[in-house]
Amino acid sequence: MCKSFIYKNITILTFIVIFWSTIILPVFCAEQIQESLFPVPRQPILDSKRPITFYHILHERGLNADISYILMDLETNEIIEAINPSELYPLASVSKIITALYGLEILGPSFNFETKILIDGSINNGVLDGNLMLLGGGDPSLTNDHLMSLIEGLYDAGLREVDGKFIVSAGETVYHPFIDSGQPEYLSYNPSISGLNINFNRVLFDWDYINDQYIFNLEAKAEIKSTKISNIMIDVLQPNEAIPKTHINGKDDKWQFSSTFLSKASQRWLPVRQPQRHAAEIFWKFANERGIDLPQPSFQNKLLNGKVLKKITGVSLDKNVGLMLKYSNNLLAEAIGLKATQALTGEYKSIKESANVMQNWLKEKIGKSKTELVDHSGLGSKSKISAYELIKLLEITGWDGNIFGLMNDHQFRKRNSAILKNYTNVVKVKTGSLNFVSNIVGFIETNSGNRMAFVILTSNMNERNKLKKEDRDNPLKAKTWVKKSRQIQLDLIEYWSFKYN
């Protein structure tokens, strides 16, 4: 008996897949897929025929899902395998690939967001005879530490007191209280979007129950200088008391939680719904602690004129894009997409309007397209795309494109996969998931040097649509479904890596 690593490290399922695909001639079922609007891929596996190996994988995993996938040879740009390539599926965070390319092309990789301190008077004997203005520029990565740097600059410039007003403005950027209204309000990955964002527009909320009462603590976290905050209000609902359906929980940073909700944990991230006011409170507090006497802030939503006394330049866009793809951060995606649209059109637009502009940009890139985009992050399930359209985008950017180097390395999977460890040099991916939606796109280089791009889209919208809004906070059934979907995705990537090595 051969002492190959297969018998030690490969699952029975994977062995069956390899046996069928490499020893026995492929057998295809006669079931027809919908007629595609796009070019039909070449043999050996046709769009209109489903490979038996895929059915083995699907049957063994027991996943109830709609599935689409496509595999492309990057040397010839020919489609090797495909199932349902022209059917639309929810994008989830795979949308961030589109946003990344959009932002990098329109703004350029060296683009920087800026946050400025302006004055409209002069400083004499430490006193500013005029107004001090904090003007946001939409930077999604602004933190407490950046505000502290601005304040140190003011202190070094000799400022100790402001005789006029302390004015805070998010500029002309359209304010969004959240990205997707279909998500529970308290989820931190559904943040507000403003021209003045701070600490990813979230706070760390922890609580304890002592002597029959709740003790709450809210902290604006940063790498160096974190601080307690007071501009967010928390109330505990009485037993059997419900939030009125007309009430938006968290509006104006006023939250209501039931004791049942609070009993499930003792800490969570909480979104900030008024980031402009939140940033103003932190800046005012830090300035007064440093010895700069500021009046209470006033707010304006417009561009401000004055002399730039100090500014913070954010990290370059390519670094922000890398962070967005690595951590799948929704605030980064929306801020980058909105800024790119503003630069392209000269207008500040809503998330949905901006997503439509990005959608038209995508059509110019890939040609015929049925893609529907409602945001830049993929948080809204109404953003949809086909596997064929995504593979065309990967084909355009290519192996040597700027996205390849920013995508996550799938090396960690090699610890759990003998096939990836022994048959691939590189696997680069971007994943995306919502409740009952799980996608993965990326690149494979086998150890023989074959380079391929792939897209795998899975969803069960019937199950997703059954979820009530209040039940969409990581439900167990959806978690189990996504776990099965990810295993199927790994099975397919292993199968392709072995077969085309």
CA gap 65, 438 in Å, rounded? 10
Give the pairing type, strands 132-135 and 112-119: antiparallel
- pTM for the model stands at 0.87
> For residue 333, what pLDDT band results from cuts at 50, 70 and 90?
very high
Tens-place pLDDT, residues 19-65? 444 444 333 333 333 333 333 333 333 333 344 567 677 777 888 99
DSSP string, 441-452: EEEEEETT--EE
Whole-number pLDDT of residue 456: 97
Measured in degrees and rounded to the nearest 5, phi and psi for residue 498 equal -75, -50
Determine the average pLDDT of the residues in 119-129: 96
Q: Which of 472, 403, 329 is nearest to 102 (CA)?
A: 403
Average pLDDT, rounded, for the chain: 87
Q: Which two tokens stand for residue 357?
A: 């502009």
Whole-number pLDDT of residue 242: 73
Q: What is the 3-state secondary structure (H, E, C) of 205-251?
A: EEEEEECCEEEEEEEECCCCCCEECCCCEEEEECCCCCCCCCCCCCH
> For residue 4, what pLDDT band results from cuts at 50, 70 and 90?
very low
CA gap 276, 201 in Å, rounded? 9
Q: Is the confidence at residue 2, as pLDDT, over 80? A: no
Give the pairing type, strands 297-300 and 122-124: unpaired
Whole-number pLDDT of residue 134: 98
Q: Which two tokens stand for residue 311?
A: 């500014």
The proportion of the chain whose per-residue pLDDT surpasses 90, expressed as a percent, equals 72
Q: Which of 278, 250, 251 is nearest to 194 (CA)?
A: 278
Q: Is the confidence at residue 491, as pLDDT, over 70? A: yes
- CATH T-level assignment (fold) for domain 112-315: D-tyrosyl-trna(Tyr) Deacylase; Chain: A; (3.50.80)
Q: Which helix (H) or strand (E) holds 203?
A: strand 202-210
156-157-161 Cα angle (round to 5)? 100
Beta partners for 457? 68, 439
CA gap 443, 72 in Å, rounded? 9
Whole-number pLDDT of residue 367: 92
> For residue 246, what pLDDT band results from cuts at 50, 70 and 90?
low
Each as own residue / partner, the long-range contacts of residues 462-465 (CB below 8 Å, 24 or more positions apart, any chain) are 463/64, 463/436, 464/381, 464/434, 464/435, 464/436, 464/437
Q: Does residue 16 or residue 63 have the better pLDDT?
A: 63
Tens-place pLDDT, residues 374-395? 999 999 999 999 999 999 999 9
Amino acid at 419: I
Rg of the chain over all Cα atoms, to the nearest angstrom = 26
Whole-number pLDDT of residue 33: 33
Q: Is the confidence at residue 207, as pLDDT, over 80? A: yes
CA gap 331, 209 in Å, rounded? 32
Determine the average pLDDT of the residues in 67-89: 95
Q: Which of 343, 407, 342, 333 is nearest to 376 (CA)?
A: 333
Q: Are 132 and 162 in contact (CB under 8 A)?
A: yes
Q: Does residue 14 or residue 337 have the better pLDDT?
A: 337
Lowest mean pLDDT among 14-23, 42-51, 106-115: 42-51
- In which order are the strands placed within the sheet that holds 78-83? 78-83, 66-73, 451-459, 437-446, 424-434, 408-409
Whole-number pLDDT of residue 290: 97
Lowest mean pLDDT among 110-119, 397-406, 430-439: 397-406
Whole-number pLDDT of residue 15: 45
Q: Where are the domains of the chain?
A: 6-90+384-499, 112-315
Q: Which two tokens stand for residue 296?
A: 């209470």
Whole-number pLDDT of residue 1: 38
> For residue 400, what pLDDT band results from cuts at 50, 70 and 90?
confident
Tens-place pLDDT, residues 296-321? 999 998 888 999 999 999 999 999 99
Q: Which of 339, 340, 333, 304 is nearest to 200 (CA)?
A: 333
Location of structure tokens 């007309």: 246
- For residue 414, the 8-state DSSP code is G
Whole-number pLDDT of residue 101: 96
CA gap 478, 226 in Å, rounded? 35
Tens-place pLDDT, residues 176-185? 999 999 999 9
